[in-house]
Chains A and B, each alone.
Chain A
């Protein structure tokens, strides 16, 4: 059984060597699926700590990028022993960088954090058309549509996507979150989104609030 407290702490401190050592030893001991789930939860708790440290300014964007990579490596180690057991899903998010924009780092940071918070994420990648957002949201019954963008032109694409969700009759059934450099309260209002954020950790909290 992994020491969940130590694992949570190591993830929170972004101590890659310690995280990988703890998990390698854990996996070698042939844990049960239930124990693997508890290790996964410990990693998720550690990512919450990363989000909190980002909010205080102790960590910044580079740390979040690193945290995303660390979490991916940790999950890859744990996955084989989960044997199909997965953490409970608290909601479904369709996520993408909007049409005309190919910046995906902010989107990927948000994805790592929101997945670790228990959301099932359908990542549509970059340069995503409004039609693709609509089709995936309909297909999976999304709770949230998350749109990301760095370029100022992204805000127009976000608005087009919200309009497409409305035209498809889906808008009332989903919450829309926009994120990235160019968003602010005025952009949020113009786009017709429910919330905006320039902070991935805060974005996770917004989504958690919506599915409570």
Chain B
């Protein structure tokens, strides 16, 4: 068996063992590295975000240097060429700081919720697209749609090629973001793409029933509108032996919610994913942005050995104590330390994390924030930590 194949299988097994709380010899290292890899490999965001071939070069060179087991992202998170073809993007690129900012937006009006609830697809085509991409209201709209379709095709092709190269040449399983079916509480789609943080904050107070009705109407869904309910019908029992997690979800908009609001606007949909993972014996990977301790009571309801939770800013030792061994914890390595600390201080902290959290299995090592900007991380620290972990026996 080729080295890369052996590595691939070993990595998948390590991930699954961690998720199932089985003791392993070493921990899995998951790259929570996003736009920083472009900076570190000497490219500009303005090049790679519009050129997936260059992005592919970035990802493979990055893996040669750091040898991660898994990646959150193979550079596919911001396919700006597609929205560029439609004539608009909310993103602002700063090559100097490797900084990708986004303006707040709202493409949903309060009175739209009823329509969204009844016919989300119609809303997307008749309201969202013309509001966001205003050039579609002008002559040449059809050509713009065709161009965007062509860009989407290229994006899919290049993303597939990158994933294939990472698997065949480097033994790296599919990235969790885009490489694993992702299902979102519709609240997230509103928060991240349709209504924005301010609009949703007002809706939670001014029209909670309409908002809730839209969440129920659309349901837990993927980017393309397939609901979890539909996906279940084509699911086979058991975890996919070729991947780490079977499904993923992203908790981002929950960062504006109180515990009480979470119970109403989030928990029923997260529970749907928990129930799916348990019933079909799947592994669910959750990325939970920000600090999450007020939600631990809900996380404790996860089906044991079926859920991995990547906690961003949480105190991982407290999380382990409070959530217990219901879920596999992921994250922990502070990027403050990766940027400001010495190599030795970084290795010491990584060892501390592993000793405390991985002794009985149930821990995946990763960075505690999405590593994105030039000042998020120092290369020598990241490399030293990864080299240490690969050799460190639990």
- Is A151 at the interface (CB under 8 A from chain B)? yes
Interface status of A89 (Cβ within 8 A of chain B): no
By beta carbon, the residue of chain B nearest A56 is B258
Question: Is A66 positioned at the interface, with any CB of B under 8 Å from its CB?
Answer: yes
Contact indicator per residue, chain B 90-114, by CB within 8 Å of chain A (1) or not (0): 0010100101010110000000000
User: Any chain B CB within 8 A of the CB of A16?
Assistant: yes
Q: B340 contacts A16, CB within 8 Å? A: no
Shortest CB-to-CB span from B187 to chain A, Å, is: 11
Instruction: Name the contact of B258 in the complex, choosing from A60, A103, A152 (C-beta under 8 A).
Output: A60
In the bound complex, residues from chain A placing their C-beta under 8 Å from that of B393 are none
Q: Is the CB of A62 within 8 A of B200?
A: yes
CA of A155 to CA of B373, assembled, Å: 12
Taking the closest CB of chain B, its distance from the CB of A157, in whole angstroms, is: 9
With A61-B201, A66-B201, A102-B101 known to touch, is A151 a contact of B313 (CB < 8 Å)? Answer: no
Docked pose: A12 CA to B55 CA in angstroms: 50
A153 contacts the other chain (CB 8 A): yes
Is the Cβ of B99 less than 8 Å from the Cβ of A151? yes
Cross-chain contact of A65 among B197, B259, B375 (Cβ < 8 A): B197
Residues A60 and B257 in contact, CB atoms below 8 Å apart: yes
Q: Which residues of B contact A156 (CB under 8 A)?
A: 375
A153 to B373, CA, bound (A): 7
Asked whether, in the complex, the Cβ of A151 is within 8 Å of the Cβ of B260, the reply is no
- Docked Cα-Cα span, A151 to B374, in Å, equals 11
B258 touches A105 (CB 8 A): no
Interface code A136-180, partner B: CB below 8 Å = 1, 0 otherwise?
A: 000000000000000111011000000000000000000000000
Q: Mark B301-343, 1 if CB is under 8 A from A, else 0.
A: 0000000000001000000000000000000000110011000
Among A103, A105, A152, A181, contact of B375 (Cβ-Cβ < 8 Å): A152
User: Using Cβ atoms and an 8 Å threshold, which residues of chain B touch A62?
Assistant: 197, 200-201, 204-205, 256-258, 261
Contact B202 A153, beta carbon cutoff 8 Å: no
A17 and B313 alpha carbons, distance in the complex (Å): 36
- Measured in the bound complex, the distance between the Cα atoms of B261 and A14 in whole Å is 14
The answer, among B205, B255, B260, for a CB contact under 8 Å with A16, is B205
Given the contacts A65-B201, A152-B335, A153-B373, A57 and B259 also touching, CB distance less than 8 Å? yes
A-facing residues in B169-207 (Cβ within 8 Å): 197-198, 200-202, 204-206
Interface residues on B, range: 35 or more
With contacts A57-B259, A58-B260, A62-B257 taken as known, whether A153 is within 8 angstroms of B374 at the C-beta atoms is: yes
Query: Are B256 and A61 in contact (CB-based, < 8 A)?
Result: yes
Interface size class of A (residues with CB under 8 A): 20 to 34
Q: Is B376 interfacial (CB-CB < 8 Å)?
A: yes
Contacts of B369 in A (CB 8 A): 152
Q: Which 8 A-B pairs have the closest CB atoms?
A: A65-B201, A62-B256, A62-B201, A60-B258, A61-B256, A153-B373, A66-B205, A153-B375
Ordered by A's residue number, 20 sampled pairs between the chains whose C-beta atoms are within 8 Å are A14-B205, A16-B206, A60-B258, A61-B255, A62-B256, A62-B261, A63-B201, A63-B258, A65-B202, A69-B202, A101-B101, A105-B198, A151-B101, A152-B339, A152-B372, A152-B375, A152-B376, A153-B375, A153-B376, A155-B375
Known: A62-B197, A152-B375, A186-B336. 20 other contacts (CB 8 A): A16-B205, A58-B258, A60-B257, A60-B259, A60-B294, A61-B255, A61-B256, A62-B201, A63-B201, A63-B204, A63-B258, A65-B197, A65-B201, A69-B202, A151-B99, A151-B373, A153-B97, A153-B375, A155-B375, A156-B375
